[in-house]
A = this chain, B = another copy of it.
Amino acid sequence: MDVGIRKRLDDFIRKKGLRQTSQRDEILEIIFTSDEHFTPDELFNRLRNAGSRASRATVYRTLGLLVEADLIHEIELGDGQTTYDPNFIDHPNHNHLICVDCGKVVEFEDTHLDLQNDCLTRRLGFRPVRQSLRIEAACEDLRNEGNCPDLIQARVKGKRLPNRKK
């Protein structure tokens, strides 16, 4: 894990008059050991596997803290739980393409697109804060072969994606 990340959290905590705790350290460690998106529940399980005793409540509370500190972002995958993305530190302007069939998420950046969003936002009378282009699309594999290897049953039936922890 990048040392700079812990420092950013420490600074945030100090500035806010909050306190450093082992739970917060453990959570930060687990999150930034990987660059994977995660749900609160997935994070909770990873913590348990790593030997941490942090409770679900603490996980939720800490996630709120990390969002406020701008270390992670919430992203909406439309599956009924909030997903968190730890990659905005390295790639502040990245976007997400989401496969409507299997829920696979691909991150990408595009300078041209960024510029255009920026102009569009201003033209509408707003000040750009955060870009988040979310494209919904379908894997070529799926469309060509008629089924997607990662296809999730519930999605086909037009329902929510099931909890991805399974």
Contact = CB atoms under 8 A, between A and B. Distances in A.
Contacts of A35: none
Nearest to A80: B82
Interface in A127-148: 127-140, 143
Contacts of A158: 64, 67-68
A99 to B, nearest CB: 7
Interface residues of A, number: 38
A127 B137 contact: yes
A78 to B, nearest CB: 6
Interface in A56-97: 64, 67-68, 74, 76, 78, 97
A75 to B, nearest CB: 9
